[in-house]
Structure 1
Amino acid sequence: MTALKADPKPVLFFDSGIGGLTVLREARVLMPERSFIYVADDAAFPYGNWEEEPLKRRIVDLFVTLLAKYDPEAVIIACSTAFTLAGADLRATFPDMRFIGTVPAIKPAAERTRSGHISVLATPGTVKRAYTRDLIQSFAGQCHVNLVGSQNLARLAEDYIRGDVKPDAEFLHEIAPCFVSEDGAQTDIIVLACTHYPFLANVFRRLAPWPVDWLDPAEAIARQARRLVPLIDGRSTQPDFAVFTSGDPGFATRRLMQGFGLSMDQSVSSPHNQGDFFL
Structure 2
Amino acid sequence: MVAPQATDATANGAKPILVFDSGIGGLTVLREARLLMPERGFIYVADDAGFPYGGWEEAPLRARIVSLFETLLARFNPEAIIVACNTAFTLAGADLRQAFPEMRFIGTVPAIKPAAERTRSGLVSVLATPGTVKRAYTRDLIQSFATRCHVRLVGSENLARMAEAYIRGEAIEDADVLAEIAPCFVEQDGARTDIVVLACTHYPFLANVFRRLAPWPVDWLDPAEAIARQARRLVPLVEGQEHPDGFDFAVFTSGNQDFSTRRLMQGMGLSMSSVG
TM-score range, shorter chain: over 0.9
Equivalent of 2:75 in 62, 65, 69: 69
Report the CA distance between 1:249 and its aligned residue.
1.7
Tell me the alpha carbon deviations over residues 246-273 of structure 1, each in whole angstroms, 9 at most, x when there is no partner: 00121110100000000001x43xxxxx
TM-score, normalization: structure 1?
A: 0.93
> Is the 2:55–2:130 contact (alpha carbons within 8 Å) kept by the matching residues of 1?
no
Q: Structure 2 counterpart of 1:259, which letter?
A: G
Among candidates 231, 240, 245, match of residue 248 of structure 2 = 240
Q: Is the contact made by 1:13 and 1:24 (CA closer than 8 Å) also made in structure 2?
A: yes
8 Å contact kept, 1:7–1:237: no
Taking only aligned residues, the RMSD between alpha carbons, in angstroms, comes to 1.2
Aligned pairs, how many?
Answer: 265
**Gapped regions of structure 1 (runs ≥ 5):** 269-278
Report the counterpart of residue 109 of structure 1 in structure 2: 115
> Are 1:119 and 1:191, in contact at CA under 8 Å, matched by a contact in 2?
yes
Residue equivalent to 2:40: 34
TM-aligned CA deviation for residue 7 of structure 1: 4.7
* Structure 2 residue runs without a partner (length 5+): 1-10
In the alignment, which residue of structure 2 is the partner of 1:255? Answer: 263
Listed one character per residue, the Cα deviations across residues 13-61 of structure 1 (whole Å, up to 9, x for unaligned) are 1100000000000000000000000000000101112111000000000
1:178 aligns with 2:193: no
Query: Aligned with 1:246: secondary structure?
Result: coil
Q: Return the match for 1:52 from 53, 58, 68.
A: 58
Alpha-carbon shift at residue 167 of structure 1 (Å): 1.0
Q: Calculate percent identity across the aligned residue pairs.
A: 78
Matched, 1:79 2:82: no
Q: 2:218 aligns with which of 212, 217, 241?
A: 212
2-structure distance, mates of 1:237, 1:253? 23
Does the aligned pair in 1 maintain the 2:16–2:247 contact within 8 Å? no
Question: C-alpha distance in 2, partners of 1:139/1:50?
Answer: 28
Q: For the residues of structure 2 that align with 1:239 and 1:134, how far apart are their CA atoms?
A: 37
Q: 2:13, 2:59 → 1: CA distance?
A: 37
Give the conservation status (yes or no) of the 8 Å contact 1:42–1:249.
no
| Structure 2 counterparts to residues 88-237 of structure 1, below 5 A | 88-233=94-239, 234-235=241-242, 236-237=244-245
SS in 2 for 1:114: coil
Stretches (4+) displaced over 3 A: none
Equivalent residues of 1:7, 1:238 under 8 A apart:
no
CA distance in 2, matches of 1:167, 1:89: 38
Separation (CA, whole Å) in 1 of partners of 2:52 and 2:248: 24
Q: Secondary structure at the match of 1:64?
A: helix
2:45 partner amino acid: V
